[in-house]
Amino acid sequence: KAGVTQTPRYLIKTRGQQVTLSCSPISGHRSVSWYQQTPGQGLQFLFEYFSETQRNKGNFPGRFSGRQFSNSRSEMNVSTLELGDSALYLCASMVTVGTDTQYFGPGTRLTVL
């Protein structure tokens, strides 16, 4: 099976812009979670989607949003970018039935200038 894929892999934006990141989960996985990874804060949970519904949300401002499509693919959006949003954004997929195992994609490296 193909792993979790994320596009784009690298992105450079300027402050105030918005950005959309995409994640395709492993085939058959219906849950998609998003994480932000920075050197200072480590890996932090953003939100989780299942069957097109957000089931869980971390402690991030409303500028961070996401959605999931009927094919389980997910997007996350960050509006009004700030310098502190520079990070590696990771997507993870999970089967959700009988396991908690999350499989991570390679991430999207976002740089905000």
Partner 1 sequence: QQQVKQSPQSLIVQKGGISIINCAYENTAFDYFPWYQQFPGKGPALLIAIRPDVSEKKEGRFTISFNKSAKQFSLHIMDSQPGDSATYFCAASIPGNTGKLIFGQGTTLQVKP
Nearer to partner 1, 9 or 15 (CB): 9
Nearer to partner 1, 77 or 101 (CB): 101
Q: Which chain residues interact with partner 1 by CB under 8 A?
A: 4, 31-33, 35, 42-45, 48, 50, 55-56, 58, 90, 92, 94, 96, 100-107
Q: For residue 13, which amino acid is it?
A: K
Nearer to partner 1, 18 or 67 (CB): 67
Contact status, residue 103 vs residue 28, Cβ threshold 8 Å: no
From the CB of 58, what's the least distance to partner 1, in Å?
A: 7
From the CB of 16, what's the least distance to partner 1, in Å?
A: 28
Query: Rounded to whole angstroms, how far apart are CA atoms 19 and 55?
Result: 22
Query: Rounded to whole angstroms, how far apart are CA atoms 60 and 27?
Result: 28
Helix (H) / strand (E) containing 74? strand 74-78
From the CB of 43, what's the least distance to partner 1, in Å?
A: 4
